[in-house]
Structure 1
Amino acid sequence: MVKIFSSFKDASVFSRSLAIKNITQQIKRRGNTWEVSYTDGTSAEVINDHDLRKLKELEKENKILKSTIEESAQKLSYEKNVEIDQMLSKLAAEETEIALASKLENQRLDEIRNTLRGYEKEAIKIIEQATNQLEIVEALKSAYSKKFGKAEVDKITKQVTEQKICTNCSGDGGIRGGCPVCHGSGWVSDLTNILVYKAKLFSQNSE
Protein backbone atom coordinates (compact mmCIF):
# COMPACT_ATOMS: atom_id res chain seq x y z
CA MET A 1 0.00 0.00 0.00
CA VAL A 2 1.12 3.60 -0.60
CA LYS A 3 0.26 6.81 1.28
CA ILE A 4 1.23 10.27 -0.06
CA PHE A 5 2.28 13.26 2.09
CA SER A 6 3.01 16.85 1.15
CA SER A 7 5.87 17.17 3.64
CA PHE A 8 8.73 14.93 4.64
CA LYS A 9 7.92 15.49 8.32
CA ASP A 10 4.44 14.02 8.04
CA ALA A 11 5.71 11.11 5.97
CA SER A 12 8.46 10.43 8.51
CA VAL A 13 6.02 10.42 11.43
CA PHE A 14 3.77 7.96 9.62
CA SER A 15 6.70 5.75 8.72
CA ARG A 16 7.85 5.59 12.36
CA SER A 17 4.39 4.63 13.49
CA LEU A 18 4.44 1.73 11.06
CA ALA A 19 7.87 0.65 12.25
CA ILE A 20 6.62 0.53 15.84
CA LYS A 21 3.97 -1.96 14.68
CA ASN A 22 6.67 -4.06 12.90
CA ILE A 23 5.19 -3.20 9.52
CA THR A 24 7.64 -2.99 6.64
CA GLN A 25 7.71 0.51 5.13
CA GLN A 26 9.76 2.68 2.76
CA ILE A 27 9.81 6.47 2.07
CA LYS A 28 10.26 7.74 -1.49
CA ARG A 29 10.12 11.26 -2.93
CA ARG A 30 8.04 11.88 -6.01
CA GLY A 31 8.31 15.44 -7.25
CA ASN A 32 7.00 17.75 -4.49
CA THR A 33 5.38 14.89 -2.52
CA TRP A 34 6.56 12.00 -0.33
CA GLU A 35 5.30 8.41 -0.60
CA VAL A 36 5.33 5.85 2.17
CA SER A 37 5.06 2.30 0.83
CA TYR A 38 4.07 -0.30 3.39
CA THR A 39 2.38 -3.67 3.88
CA ASP A 40 -0.47 -3.93 6.32
CA GLY A 41 -1.14 -6.94 8.57
CA THR A 42 -3.90 -8.36 6.35
CA SER A 43 -1.60 -8.48 3.33
CA ALA A 44 1.14 -10.08 5.42
CA GLU A 45 -1.23 -12.81 6.55
CA VAL A 46 -2.31 -13.44 2.96
CA ILE A 47 1.31 -13.73 1.86
CA ASN A 48 2.11 -16.09 4.71
CA ASP A 49 -0.84 -18.35 3.84
CA HIS A 50 0.22 -18.33 0.21
CA ASP A 51 3.79 -19.22 1.15
CA LEU A 52 2.49 -21.98 3.41
CA ARG A 53 0.46 -23.49 0.57
CA LYS A 54 3.49 -23.27 -1.68
CA LEU A 55 5.61 -25.01 0.92
CA LYS A 56 3.03 -27.78 1.27
CA GLU A 57 2.88 -28.20 -2.49
CA LEU A 58 6.67 -28.32 -2.70
CA GLU A 59 6.75 -30.85 0.14
CA LYS A 60 4.22 -33.02 -1.71
CA GLU A 61 6.22 -32.74 -4.95
CA ASN A 62 9.39 -33.65 -3.07
CA LYS A 63 7.72 -36.75 -1.61
CA ILE A 64 6.54 -37.82 -5.06
CA LEU A 65 9.99 -37.19 -6.50
CA LYS A 66 11.65 -39.09 -3.66
CA SER A 67 9.26 -42.02 -4.13
CA THR A 68 9.94 -42.05 -7.89
CA ILE A 69 13.69 -42.00 -7.30
CA GLU A 70 13.44 -44.85 -4.77
CA GLU A 71 11.31 -46.94 -7.15
CA SER A 72 13.77 -46.30 -9.98
CA ALA A 73 16.67 -47.24 -7.72
CA GLN A 74 14.93 -50.44 -6.63
CA LYS A 75 14.13 -51.34 -10.24
CA LEU A 76 17.70 -50.63 -11.30
CA SER A 77 18.99 -52.65 -8.36
CA TYR A 78 16.69 -55.56 -9.27
CA GLU A 79 17.76 -55.47 -12.92
CA LYS A 80 21.40 -55.27 -11.86
CA ASN A 81 20.95 -58.20 -9.49
CA VAL A 82 19.32 -60.22 -12.27
CA GLU A 83 22.21 -59.35 -14.58
CA ILE A 84 24.73 -60.36 -11.92
CA ASP A 85 22.85 -63.61 -11.23
CA GLN A 86 22.83 -64.42 -14.96
CA MET A 87 26.55 -63.70 -15.16
CA LEU A 88 27.26 -65.89 -12.12
CA SER A 89 25.13 -68.69 -13.57
CA LYS A 90 27.03 -68.44 -16.86
CA LEU A 91 30.37 -68.54 -15.06
CA ALA A 92 29.21 -71.52 -12.99
CA ALA A 93 28.12 -73.35 -16.16
CA GLU A 94 31.45 -72.61 -17.82
CA GLU A 95 33.29 -73.76 -14.71
CA THR A 96 31.28 -77.00 -14.70
CA GLU A 97 32.02 -77.50 -18.40
CA ILE A 98 35.72 -76.89 -17.84
CA ALA A 99 35.73 -79.27 -14.86
CA LEU A 100 33.94 -81.93 -16.93
CA ALA A 101 36.35 -81.48 -19.84
CA SER A 102 39.26 -81.66 -17.40
CA LYS A 103 37.80 -84.83 -15.88
CA LEU A 104 37.37 -86.43 -19.32
CA GLU A 105 40.90 -85.38 -20.26
CA ASN A 106 42.24 -86.86 -17.02
CA GLN A 107 40.33 -90.08 -17.73
CA ARG A 108 41.83 -90.21 -21.22
CA LEU A 109 45.31 -89.60 -19.82
CA ASP A 110 44.74 -92.37 -17.28
CA GLU A 111 43.68 -94.70 -20.09
CA ILE A 112 46.81 -93.79 -22.05
CA ARG A 113 48.98 -94.35 -18.99
CA ASN A 114 47.35 -97.72 -18.33
CA THR A 115 47.83 -98.70 -21.98
CA LEU A 116 51.47 -97.64 -21.82
CA ARG A 117 51.95 -99.67 -18.66
CA GLY A 118 50.39 -102.65 -20.45
CA TYR A 119 52.76 -102.27 -23.40
CA GLU A 120 55.66 -101.80 -21.02
CA LYS A 121 54.83 -105.02 -19.20
CA GLU A 122 54.41 -106.80 -22.52
CA ALA A 123 57.75 -105.46 -23.75
CA ILE A 124 59.48 -106.58 -20.55
CA LYS A 125 57.90 -110.01 -20.94
CA ILE A 126 59.09 -110.24 -24.56
CA ILE A 127 62.60 -109.19 -23.53
CA GLU A 128 62.64 -111.80 -20.77
CA GLN A 129 61.41 -114.46 -23.20
CA ALA A 130 64.02 -113.44 -25.77
CA THR A 131 66.73 -113.54 -23.13
CA ASN A 132 65.63 -117.00 -22.03
CA GLN A 133 65.53 -118.17 -25.64
CA LEU A 134 69.05 -116.87 -26.25
CA GLU A 135 70.25 -118.66 -23.14
CA ILE A 136 68.55 -121.84 -24.34
CA VAL A 137 70.06 -121.43 -27.81
CA GLU A 138 73.51 -120.92 -26.37
CA ALA A 139 73.07 -123.96 -24.11
CA LEU A 140 71.86 -126.13 -27.02
CA LYS A 141 74.63 -124.83 -29.24
CA SER A 142 77.20 -125.72 -26.64
CA ALA A 143 75.70 -129.19 -26.06
CA TYR A 144 75.45 -130.02 -29.75
CA SER A 145 78.96 -128.73 -30.35
CA LYS A 146 80.34 -131.04 -27.70
CA LYS A 147 78.52 -134.09 -29.01
CA PHE A 148 78.10 -133.59 -32.73
CA GLY A 149 80.50 -130.87 -33.73
CA LYS A 150 80.19 -127.26 -34.67
CA ALA A 151 76.89 -125.49 -34.86
CA GLU A 152 75.98 -122.24 -36.52
CA VAL A 153 73.05 -119.95 -35.94
CA ASP A 154 71.78 -117.90 -38.86
CA LYS A 155 70.11 -114.56 -38.27
CA ILE A 156 67.00 -114.00 -40.36
CA THR A 157 65.32 -110.58 -40.49
CA LYS A 158 61.55 -110.61 -40.11
CA GLN A 159 59.11 -107.69 -40.30
CA VAL A 160 56.43 -107.36 -37.62
CA THR A 161 53.81 -104.70 -36.95
CA GLU A 162 54.14 -102.74 -33.72
CA GLN A 163 51.89 -100.16 -32.09
CA LYS A 164 53.65 -96.90 -31.26
CA ILE A 165 52.60 -93.58 -29.77
CA CYS A 166 51.59 -91.08 -32.44
CA THR A 167 54.31 -88.43 -32.69
CA ASN A 168 51.95 -85.98 -34.38
CA CYS A 169 49.68 -85.57 -31.32
CA SER A 170 52.01 -87.02 -28.65
CA GLY A 171 49.47 -89.75 -27.97
CA ASP A 172 46.56 -87.57 -26.83
CA GLY A 173 44.53 -87.95 -30.04
CA GLY A 174 44.64 -84.24 -30.89
CA ILE A 175 41.93 -81.67 -30.26
CA ARG A 176 38.61 -83.54 -29.84
CA GLY A 177 40.25 -86.63 -31.27
CA GLY A 178 40.94 -84.97 -34.62
CA CYS A 179 44.54 -86.04 -35.20
CA PRO A 180 44.85 -86.81 -38.96
CA VAL A 181 47.62 -89.37 -38.39
CA CYS A 182 46.18 -91.63 -35.69
CA HIS A 183 42.52 -90.55 -36.17
CA GLY A 184 42.19 -89.80 -32.46
CA SER A 185 43.43 -93.15 -31.14
CA GLY A 186 46.84 -91.85 -30.06
CA TRP A 187 48.54 -94.90 -31.60
CA VAL A 188 49.99 -95.72 -35.02
CA SER A 189 51.06 -99.00 -36.62
CA ASP A 190 54.71 -99.31 -37.57
CA LEU A 191 56.64 -102.03 -39.36
CA THR A 192 59.72 -103.13 -37.42
CA ASN A 193 62.46 -105.55 -38.39
CA ILE A 194 63.28 -108.24 -35.83
CA LEU A 195 65.86 -110.99 -35.90
CA VAL A 196 64.86 -114.66 -35.98
CA TYR A 197 67.56 -117.19 -35.21
CA LYS A 198 67.88 -120.52 -37.11
CA ALA A 199 70.43 -123.11 -36.02
CA LYS A 200 72.56 -125.27 -38.37
CA LEU A 201 74.45 -128.26 -36.99
CA PHE A 202 77.59 -129.82 -38.45
CA SER A 203 78.92 -133.26 -37.38
CA GLN A 204 82.54 -133.73 -36.38
CA ASN A 205 83.09 -136.20 -39.27
CA SER A 206 82.19 -133.56 -41.83
CA GLU A 207 85.25 -131.47 -40.98
Structure 2
Amino acid sequence: MSDTPDEFARKLFAGPCDFMLGVVKMETLPPPDLPEVAFAGRSNVGKSSLLNALTNRKAIARVSNTPGRTRELNFFNLGGLLRLVDLPGYGYARASRKDVNAWTGLTRDYLRGRANLRRVCVLIDSRHGLKEVDLETMGILDVSAVPYQIVMTKIDKIKPTEADATAAKIAEQIAKRPAANPTVLQTSSEKGTGIAELRTELGLLTTQ
Protein backbone atom coordinates (compact mmCIF):
# COMPACT_ATOMS: atom_id res chain seq x y z
CA MET A 1 0.00 0.00 0.00
CA SER A 2 1.40 3.39 -0.95
CA ASP A 3 2.17 6.03 1.65
CA THR A 4 -0.20 8.87 2.39
CA PRO A 5 1.18 12.36 1.62
CA ASP A 6 1.87 12.84 5.36
CA GLU A 7 3.78 9.56 5.62
CA PHE A 8 5.75 10.23 2.43
CA ALA A 9 6.74 13.71 3.64
CA ARG A 10 7.78 12.42 7.06
CA LYS A 11 10.04 9.78 5.46
CA LEU A 12 11.39 12.24 2.89
CA PHE A 13 12.47 14.81 5.46
CA ALA A 14 13.80 12.14 7.83
CA GLY A 15 16.06 10.77 5.09
CA PRO A 16 19.35 12.05 3.65
CA CYS A 17 19.70 15.81 3.28
CA ASP A 18 23.10 16.75 1.97
CA PHE A 19 24.62 20.17 1.45
CA MET A 20 25.47 20.49 -2.23
CA LEU A 21 27.04 23.89 -2.78
CA GLY A 22 26.84 27.59 -2.10
CA VAL A 23 26.24 29.66 -5.22
CA VAL A 24 27.46 33.23 -5.71
CA LYS A 25 27.09 33.37 -9.51
CA MET A 26 24.23 32.23 -11.74
CA GLU A 27 26.68 30.30 -13.92
CA THR A 28 27.43 27.90 -11.07
CA LEU A 29 23.83 26.87 -10.33
CA PRO A 30 23.32 23.10 -10.24
CA PRO A 31 21.52 21.61 -13.25
CA PRO A 32 17.74 22.08 -13.11
CA ASP A 33 17.09 18.34 -12.89
CA LEU A 34 15.23 18.26 -9.56
CA PRO A 35 12.29 20.31 -8.29
CA GLU A 36 13.40 23.07 -5.92
CA VAL A 37 11.76 24.93 -3.07
CA ALA A 38 13.41 28.12 -1.87
CA PHE A 39 13.17 29.83 1.50
CA ALA A 40 13.14 33.62 1.49
CA GLY A 41 12.63 36.19 4.21
CA ARG A 42 13.95 39.20 6.06
CA SER A 43 17.25 38.79 7.86
CA ASN A 44 16.85 36.99 11.18
CA VAL A 45 13.31 35.78 10.35
CA GLY A 46 14.24 32.21 11.28
CA LYS A 47 15.09 30.56 7.95
CA SER A 48 17.96 28.47 9.28
CA SER A 49 15.97 27.35 12.31
CA LEU A 50 13.05 26.33 10.09
CA LEU A 51 15.29 24.32 7.75
CA ASN A 52 16.82 22.55 10.74
CA ALA A 53 13.37 21.77 12.16
CA LEU A 54 12.04 20.50 8.82
CA THR A 55 14.93 18.06 8.42
CA ASN A 56 15.16 17.06 12.10
CA ARG A 57 18.73 18.28 12.27
CA LYS A 58 20.54 20.70 14.50
CA ALA A 59 22.90 22.24 12.01
CA ILE A 60 21.93 21.64 8.39
CA ALA A 61 21.78 25.42 8.21
CA ARG A 62 23.68 27.70 10.55
CA VAL A 63 21.61 29.49 13.15
CA SER A 64 22.79 32.95 14.08
CA ASN A 65 21.49 35.99 15.92
CA THR A 66 23.51 38.14 13.52
CA PRO A 67 21.34 39.19 10.57
CA GLY A 68 22.81 38.64 7.14
CA ARG A 69 24.88 35.51 7.84
CA THR A 70 23.65 33.63 4.76
CA ARG A 71 25.51 35.24 1.88
CA GLU A 72 25.06 32.62 -0.82
CA LEU A 73 22.29 30.55 -2.37
CA ASN A 74 22.80 27.36 -0.38
CA PHE A 75 21.51 24.16 -2.02
CA PHE A 76 20.59 20.98 -0.13
CA ASN A 77 19.70 17.66 -1.78
CA LEU A 78 16.76 16.01 -0.03
CA GLY A 79 16.88 12.31 -0.82
CA GLY A 80 17.50 12.86 -4.52
CA LEU A 81 13.87 13.97 -4.89
CA LEU A 82 13.83 17.64 -3.91
CA ARG A 83 16.27 20.49 -3.40
CA LEU A 84 15.95 22.99 -0.57
CA VAL A 85 17.44 26.40 -1.30
CA ASP A 86 18.36 28.75 1.55
CA LEU A 87 18.38 32.28 0.14
CA PRO A 88 20.22 35.26 1.66
CA GLY A 89 18.06 37.24 4.07
CA TYR A 90 16.90 40.57 2.77
CA GLY A 91 16.38 43.90 4.49
CA TYR A 92 19.52 44.08 6.59
CA ALA A 93 23.05 42.73 6.68
CA ARG A 94 26.28 43.71 8.38
CA ALA A 95 28.16 43.90 5.13
CA SER A 96 29.18 46.40 2.52
CA ARG A 97 26.55 47.90 0.24
CA LYS A 98 28.38 46.32 -2.71
CA ASP A 99 28.07 42.84 -1.21
CA VAL A 100 24.42 43.34 -0.26
CA ASN A 101 23.62 44.51 -3.79
CA ALA A 102 25.39 41.46 -5.20
CA TRP A 103 23.38 39.02 -3.05
CA THR A 104 20.15 40.83 -3.84
CA GLY A 105 20.80 40.76 -7.56
CA LEU A 106 21.73 37.07 -7.48
CA THR A 107 18.58 36.20 -5.55
CA ARG A 108 16.37 38.15 -7.95
CA ASP A 109 17.96 36.51 -10.98
CA TYR A 110 17.44 33.09 -9.45
CA LEU A 111 13.80 33.77 -8.56
CA ARG A 112 13.05 35.15 -12.01
CA GLY A 113 14.72 32.52 -14.13
CA ARG A 114 14.76 29.10 -12.46
CA ALA A 115 12.49 26.79 -14.46
CA ASN A 116 12.47 23.98 -11.86
CA LEU A 117 11.63 26.28 -8.92
CA ARG A 118 8.31 24.88 -7.74
CA ARG A 119 7.64 27.15 -4.76
CA VAL A 120 9.12 29.88 -2.63
CA CYS A 121 8.33 29.87 1.06
CA VAL A 122 8.25 33.52 2.08
CA LEU A 123 8.94 33.56 5.80
CA ILE A 124 7.29 36.25 7.90
CA ASP A 125 8.03 36.90 11.57
CA SER A 126 4.65 36.50 13.26
CA ARG A 127 5.44 39.38 15.62
CA HIS A 128 5.81 41.87 12.77
CA GLY A 129 3.61 40.78 9.85
CA LEU A 130 4.25 41.83 6.26
CA LYS A 131 6.75 44.64 5.69
CA GLU A 132 7.43 46.69 2.57
CA VAL A 133 10.49 44.62 1.70
CA ASP A 134 8.35 41.44 1.83
CA LEU A 135 5.87 43.01 -0.57
CA GLU A 136 8.71 43.85 -2.95
CA THR A 137 9.84 40.21 -3.00
CA MET A 138 6.29 39.03 -3.51
CA GLY A 139 5.98 41.46 -6.39
CA ILE A 140 8.98 39.88 -8.12
CA LEU A 141 7.42 36.44 -7.69
CA ASP A 142 4.04 37.63 -8.98
CA VAL A 143 5.59 39.11 -12.12
CA SER A 144 7.72 35.99 -12.66
CA ALA A 145 4.74 33.67 -12.05
CA VAL A 146 6.63 31.75 -9.35
CA PRO A 147 4.22 30.18 -6.83
CA TYR A 148 4.89 31.19 -3.25
CA GLN A 149 3.46 30.53 0.17
CA ILE A 150 3.57 32.64 3.30
CA VAL A 151 5.03 30.80 6.28
CA MET A 152 4.75 32.62 9.59
CA THR A 153 7.63 31.90 11.99
CA LYS A 154 8.12 32.18 15.76
CA ILE A 155 4.42 31.87 16.63
CA ASP A 156 5.48 30.63 20.07
CA LYS A 157 6.57 34.20 20.81
CA ILE A 158 3.00 35.57 20.69
CA LYS A 159 -0.44 34.53 21.89
CA PRO A 160 -2.45 32.13 19.67
CA THR A 161 -5.13 34.77 19.18
CA GLU A 162 -2.51 37.24 17.95
CA ALA A 163 -1.05 34.65 15.57
CA ASP A 164 -4.49 33.88 14.15
CA ALA A 165 -5.23 37.57 13.71
CA THR A 166 -1.92 38.13 11.92
CA ALA A 167 -2.54 35.13 9.66
CA ALA A 168 -6.00 36.43 8.78
CA LYS A 169 -4.61 39.86 7.97
CA ILE A 170 -1.87 38.42 5.78
CA ALA A 171 -4.39 36.20 3.97
CA GLU A 172 -6.41 39.31 3.20
CA GLN A 173 -3.33 41.17 1.99
CA ILE A 174 -2.31 38.41 -0.44
CA ALA A 175 -5.82 37.47 -1.64
CA LYS A 176 -5.47 39.22 -5.00
CA ARG A 177 -1.82 38.38 -5.64
CA PRO A 178 -1.65 36.04 -8.66
CA ALA A 179 1.19 33.76 -7.53
CA ALA A 180 0.33 33.54 -3.82
CA ASN A 181 -0.95 30.34 -2.25
CA PRO A 182 -4.01 31.38 -0.21
CA THR A 183 -3.01 29.19 2.76
CA VAL A 184 -0.92 30.98 5.40
CA LEU A 185 1.00 28.46 7.49
CA GLN A 186 1.88 29.13 11.13
CA THR A 187 5.09 27.57 12.45
CA SER A 188 7.37 27.46 15.43
CA SER A 189 10.75 25.84 14.92
CA GLU A 190 11.29 25.79 18.68
CA LYS A 191 8.00 24.06 19.53
CA GLY A 192 7.56 22.10 16.30
CA THR A 193 4.20 23.71 15.56
CA GLY A 194 3.18 23.49 11.90
CA ILE A 195 6.36 21.68 10.84
CA ALA A 196 4.62 18.44 9.82
CA GLU A 197 2.05 20.39 7.81
CA LEU A 198 4.78 22.27 5.94
CA ARG A 199 6.64 19.02 5.24
CA THR A 200 3.49 17.58 3.67
CA GLU A 201 2.98 20.67 1.49
CA LEU A 202 6.56 20.51 0.25
CA GLY A 203 6.55 16.74 -0.22
CA LEU A 204 3.75 17.10 -2.76
CA LEU A 205 6.08 19.20 -4.93
CA THR A 206 8.17 16.12 -5.75
CA THR A 207 5.38 14.83 -7.96
CA GLN A 208 4.67 18.06 -9.86
Place the TM-score, normalised by the shorter chain, in its bin: under 0.3
Q: Where is the helix percentage greater, Structure 1 or Structure 2? A: 1
Q: Which has the higher contact order (CA 8 A, sep 6+)?
A: 2
TM-score by length of structure 2 reads 0.16
